[in-house]
Amino acid sequence: MPLKSPDELEQLRTKILEERKAQGEKKGIVLCTGTGCRGAGASEVFDAFKKALGKKSAIEFKSTCCHGFCERGPITIVEPLGIFYQGVTPADVPQIIAETVTKGQVIEKLLYRDPATGQTIPTEKAIPFYTKQNRLVFGNNRHLDPTRIEDYMAMGGYKALVKALFHMSPEEVIEEIKRSGLRGRGGGGFPAGRKWESCRKAHGDIKYVICNCDEGDPGAYMDRSLMEGNPHSVLEGMLIGAYAIGSSEGYVYVRNEYPLAVENVGIAIEQATKMGLLGKDILGSGFDFSLVINKGGGAFVAGESSALMASIEGYVAEPRAKHIHMTESGLWERPTNLNNVETWANVPVIIEKGADWYASIGTQGSKGTKIFSLVGKINNTGLIEVPMGMTLREIVYDIGGGIPGGKRFKAVQTGGPSGGCIPESLLDLPVDFDELTKAGSMMGSGGMIVMDESTCMVDVAKYFMHFLKDESCGKCTSCRDGTLRMYEVLDAITKGKGKEGDIEFLEEIGWMTAEASLCALGGSAANPVLSTIRYFRDEYEAHISAKRCPAGVCTELITFTIDPKACIACGKCRKGCPTEAITGEKKVPHKIVQAKCIKCGTCREVCPSDAVKVA
């Protein structure tokens, strides 16, 4: 039966907590079954645990979603000890139950091993990847089953909604969000409170709120993991926002490639509706609000606000001119407020803990925390949540564990495919909206791709421009043709066909594309090109003038040779070569037949003595 009042909600919460207290502290197993861990075999581990545990009521088994340290999955935590196991397989399950759960003994081989010290670390909170994080929004993923609203309620879920509905006016809610300094986490960084205020003041009886979970950046999956792991936090944020704005209808726009996010948010909406937290006269407050899931087709440009709304309306996801703000004329030409998943999930935290508390975290112009997808040439990859203003150096080395193989850090791209590449000289840059923009990059949705000394920055710019030219909707000549021309010039440069004036041409067409394009895709598309020219101009010049790729990446500009003094004649390169371009016998230094070499780099990868050289 739907709950009719906040008192009934609190009575239910009390009942849930009392039942759990009466059961006593159980030994428990927490398994991450988010998309990342599923890719590593978590579904099979889940089945193995269910089969092994059977009906043992003394052991609580909980399936959660992303814990952040995705490369170490499947992740299993044994409670109440908090033992953190990585890379768990079905074969490990009987031993975990018999030794750790039953006897409290630690299984050494499953522990995280610090690459710097070689020591094993038994608990999550002691692992360097986690110690410097501040997981205000993302941390609850570890504690709750996303398909059980009771878990969310036991952790205080929907208390912020009650506070907003019964103890604050809509204007007071908006003022609290404004004072908190919350800025949109989807890329633009616009102050959320100002956007809400504008939508509330807009004329019209029907207003909409939308959650943007399109997230098309390569390597970025923060919104997906938050929606999979804690969907009720997003729903609660949307409910509070809708109350403040004066909206009774909302949409959750999720790309169709996120099936688990779609499934879990669908379950959350159904549960909240049955409990009376969605629908008519919520908790007897007189406030009505309903939510619909809309699945997008996966176009990168659909993440842009007006293109997203066109998609919901049933049209092709193309951006529209914003002569009038979306908050005044958006979805079906009615006032519409759109924020992304992470922004909405911050709202309950702000309302419950207060604007002043939230604003004490971060920098002057960027408050709170930010979730980043830390990937690329780095030891610890995954999702991290850190206070705004943490330096790139702290993120890369303290949390990320540095660069694999002892190689030198070269650059990090922030902000997704339209972001800029930041060099080693700016490693101490505080990461916030304003500082990243000054450096020629942007916050974006939170992608962070680390590159080492073996990365060619011209090739990087070419890669992202290839992506952007394909994802341009083609509506603007500047974006459609500008991204294509930049890609063609970059492609020529990497193939040894660059010519004098190409760098200046790239700069000119890059600025033109940015200034003349309708939406943010075209407006930021040149960032990878302009930032790499700004910080790595010497690499462009080497490609064009010397016909040389300093990083040894661009195949038309490099030659593989074997140093006879370093070659130990092990034969690994000869066996690995797909074109039989390597000759040599045991105890005789090998050679590469250049006419047969396709420059695939296999020989360099398998050589144990670093004898394969690139020139």
pLDDT digits 0-9 by tens, 252-307: 999 989 999 999 999 999 999 999 999 999 999 999 999 999 998 778 888 888 99
pLDDT tens digit sequence for 308-331 = 999 999 998 888 887 778 999 999
Give the domain ranges of the chain.
Answer: 6-131, 149-359, 369-452, 457-545, 559-614
Asked whether residue 551 carries a pLDDT value surpassing 70, the answer given is: yes
- pLDDT over 90 at 196, yes or no: yes
Determine the CATH number of domain 457-545: 1.20.1440.230
Q: Are the C-beta atoms of residues 251 and 412 closer than 8 Å to each other?
A: no
pLDDT in the model for residue 56: 66
Q: Which CATH number fits domain 559-614: 1.20.120.160, 3.30.70.20, 2.120.10.30, 3.20.140.10?
A: 3.30.70.20
Class level of CATH domain 149-359: alpha beta
Tokens of residue 309, six digits: 């709304």
**For residues 104-132, average pLDDT:** 91
pLDDT confidence tier of residue 474, bands split at 50, 70 and 90 = confident
For 6-131, which CATH class?
Answer: alpha beta
| Residue 219 or residue 472, greater confidence | 472
Amino acid at 90: P
Identify the CATH number of the domain defined by range 369-452.
Answer: 3.10.20.600
Scored b (16 or more CB within 10 A) or e, 310-325 reads bbbeeeebbbbeeeee
Residue 332, exposed/middle/buried by CB under 10 A (0-12, 13-18, 19+)? Answer: exposed
Count Cβ neighbours within 10 Å for each residue of 544-582 and write b for 16 or more, e otherwise: beeebbbbbbbbebbebebeeeebebbebbbeebeeebb
The pLDDT of residue 153 is 96
Beta-sheet strands, E only, within 4-111: 27-32, 59-64, 76-79, 83-85
Pairing of strands 582-583, 249-255: unpaired
Q: Give Cβ neighbours of residue 437 (< 8 Å, ≥ 6 apart).
A: 443
* E strand residue ranges, 365-480: 369-376, 382-387, 409-414, 421-423, 447-452
Three state DSSP letters for 273-312: HHCCCCECCHHHCCCCEEEEEEEECCCHHHHCHHHHHHHH
H helix runs in 495-608, sequence order: 502-516, 520-524, 527-545, 572-576, 602-606
90 or 522, which is more confident: 90
